[in-house]
């Protein structure tokens, strides 16, 4: 695949992954979606999303999203709009009993469901735009259950196939709306990096207790992503994180077990995590297939601690030393609030994004100085 970068992007662009923390006002508005008249609700949320876009631009980001402020949760919003899912499965997660969504009916295959959101972002941003969608494999792993889903989809593979079809149509609609980057979110691929999961040990998320077989399952996950990205005339990113819930990760482990298996993936950039402990290790970059650029997660979204610009620069420089500046972008590890109720504040996110941007500027200046020095020595 590998399309040219959206213009005009600088060397070492700074980007968000997707979500921003929702202020209390936005969370209240999300809770009123079925209470307020639709037009009034939409107008109020439009004003909020404009602020989310301006906040990112004020921080100086080169690539922005809409903050995902219209979404109650980064996967659930898509599921609820496309239909076929009910809350009927009780499971344990981090010691809490939760009632989760599962697919119980065939999903609707009508019009794409995120286009209006995307068009608003394109119309209101003065930066390169990105919209994230969940991957087919992620949804299939988390939301098919043999006790509830078989009437709609006899096996997870049937579900995965239909998901790929629907999400491919969604991705093409986003591109037609003018979105310049489509990001496919798939933390489920990182499950294969966690030896607790792959060796069958107990894990704190009951939904992940299953038979994990990378040789059997991984090719199908890649094939489904490729069906989504096929023939897209925009840049495509794969975001492969370790999940975020209440400032913790669901899984852990470096990326090395999966990187060589991504060589047939039809995307342009991998957005990976390196700032939070027990996620990616910078040495993993040596295993990234040459066709891909890498969005380095150099800012931790989980801990409240604010990294210094020097710390961000030092981590990013390790990636540049391995892959070269042309193949590196900088981003937070993950979205700041994949769920609307995540604890980071908008001020915390803004400060971290400003420091991310300053680090990108310093690294560009360093690269320019090295280039100028090399030019003088050659003359």
Rounded to two decimals, the pTM is: 0.94
Q: Check whether 54 has a pLDDT greater than 90.
A: yes
**What is the per-residue pLDDT across 343-357, written as a single tens digit (0 to 9) for each?**
999 999 999 999 999
pLDDT at 21 over 50: yes
Averaged pLDDT for residues 198-203? 68
Q: What tokens were used for 338?
A: 């994949």
Which pLDDT value is given to residue 197? Answer: 77
Q: Is residue 365 over pLDDT 90?
A: yes
pLDDT above 60 (res 3): no
Helix axes 309-323 and 346-378, enclosed angle (nearest 10): 50
Q: According to the model, what pLDDT value does residue 371 have? A: 81
| pLDDT confidence bin for 203, thresholds 50/70/90 | low
The pLDDT > 70 percentage for the chain reads: 95
Q: Are 64 and 53 in contact (CB under 8 A)?
A: yes
CA dihedral for 79, 221, 245, 24, sign (positive or negative): negative
pLDDT at 379 over 60: no
Based on C-alpha coordinates, what's the Rg of the chain? 20
Q: Over the stretch 145-171, which tens digit does the pLDDT of each residue have?
A: 999 999 999 999 999 999 999 999 999
pLDDT of 204 > 90? The answer is no
Measure the CA–CA gap between 284 and 196, rounded to whole angstroms: 19
The pLDDT score that the predictor gives to residue 5 is 61
Write the pLDDT tens digit of every residue in 72-84: 999 999 999 999 9
Tell me what the mean pLDDT of segment 60-69 comes to.
98
Q: In the beta sheet, which residues pair with residue 270? A: 238, 294
Q: What is the mean pLDDT of residues 262-267?
A: 96
Fold of 24-378: TIM Barrel (3.20.20)
Residue 324, Ramachandran bin (φ over 0: left; ψ between -120 and 50: alpha; else beta): left
Give which of 44, 83, 37, 46 is closest to 67, Cα–Cα: 46
What ranges do the domains of the chain cover? Answer: 24-378
What pLDDT score does 276 carry?
Answer: 95
pLDDT over 90 (residue 250): no
Which is nearest to 68 in space by CA: 18, 30, 4? 18
Interval 224-244: pLDDT, tens: 999 999 999 999 999 999 988
Whether pLDDT at 198 is above 60 = yes
- pLDDT tens digits, 124-145: 999 999 999 999 999 999 999 9
Give the model's confidence band at 215: pLDDT under 50 very low, under 70 low, under 90 confident, else very high: very high
Reported confidence tier of residue 2, pLDDT bands at 50, 70, 90: very low
What's the pLDDT band for 264 if we cut at 50, 70, 90?
very high
Q: Is 94 left (phi over 0), alpha (psi -120 to 50) or beta?
A: left
Query: Which H, E and C letters describe the chain, residue by residue?
Result: CCCCCCCCCCCCCEECCCCCCCCHHHHHHHHCCCCCCHHHHHHHHHHHHHHHHHHHHHHCCCEECCCCCCCCECCHHHHHHHCCEEEEEEEEECCEEEEEEEECCCCCCCCCCCHHHHHHHHHHCCCEEEEEEECHHHHHHHHCCCCCCCCCCCCHHHHHHHHHHHHHHHHHHHHHCCCCEEEEECHHHHHHHCHHHHCCCCCCEHHHCCCCCHHHHHHHHHHHHHHHHCCCCCEEEEECCCCCECCECCCCCCCHHHHHHHCCCCCCEEEEECCCCCCCCHHHHHHCCCCCEEEEEEECCCCCCCCCHHHHHHHHHHHHHHHCHHHEEEEECCCCCCECCCCCCHHHHHHHHHHHHHHHHHHHHHHHHHHHHHHHHHC
């Amino acid at each position: 695949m590998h399309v040219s970068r959206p213009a005009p992007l600088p060397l070492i662009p700074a980007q968000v992954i997707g979500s921003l923390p929702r202020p209390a006002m936005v969370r209240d508005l999300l809770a009123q979606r079925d209470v307020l008249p639709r037009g009034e609700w939409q107008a109020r949320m439009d004003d909020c999303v404009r602020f989310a876009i301006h906040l990112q631009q004020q921080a100086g980001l080169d690539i922005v999203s809409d903050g995902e402020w219209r979404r109650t949760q980064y996967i659930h919003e898509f599921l609820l709009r496309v239909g076929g899912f009910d809350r009927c499965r009780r499971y344990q997660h981090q010691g809490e009993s939760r009632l989760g969504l599962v697919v119980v009916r065939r999903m609707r295959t009508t019009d794409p469901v995120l286009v209006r959101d995307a068009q608003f972002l394109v119309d209101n941003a003065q930066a390169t735009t990105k919209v994230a969608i969940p991957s087919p494999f992620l949804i299939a792993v988390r939301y098919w259950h043999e006790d509830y889903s078989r009437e709609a989809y006899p096996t997870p593979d049937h579900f995965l196939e239909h998901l790929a079809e629907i999400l491919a149509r969604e991705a093409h609609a986003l591109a037609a709306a003018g979105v310049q980057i489509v990001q496919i979110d798939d933390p489920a691929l990182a499950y294969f990096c966690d030896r607790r999961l792959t060796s069958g040990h107990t894990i704190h998320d009951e939904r992940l207790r299953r038979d994990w077989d990378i040789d059997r399952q991984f090719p199908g996950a890649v094939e489904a992503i490729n069906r989504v990205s096929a023939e897209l005339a925009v840049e495509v990113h794969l975001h492969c994180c370790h999940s975020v819930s209440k400032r913790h990760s669901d899984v852990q482990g470096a990326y090395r077990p999966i990187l060589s298996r991504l060589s047939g993936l039809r995307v342009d950039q991998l957005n990976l995590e390196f700032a939070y402990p027990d996620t990616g290790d910078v040495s993993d970059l040596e295993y990234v297939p040459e066709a891909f650029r890498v969005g380095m997660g150099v800012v931790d979204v989980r801990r409240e601690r604010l990294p210094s610009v020097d710390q961000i620069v030092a981590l990013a420089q390790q990636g540049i030393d391995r892959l070269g500046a042309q193949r590196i972008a900088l981003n937070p590890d993950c979205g700041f609030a994949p769920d609307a109720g995540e604890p980071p504040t908008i001020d915390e996110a803004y400060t971290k994004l400003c420091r991310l941007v300053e680090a990108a500027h310093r690294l560009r200046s360093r690269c320019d100085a090295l280039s100028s020095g090399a030019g003088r020595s050659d003359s």
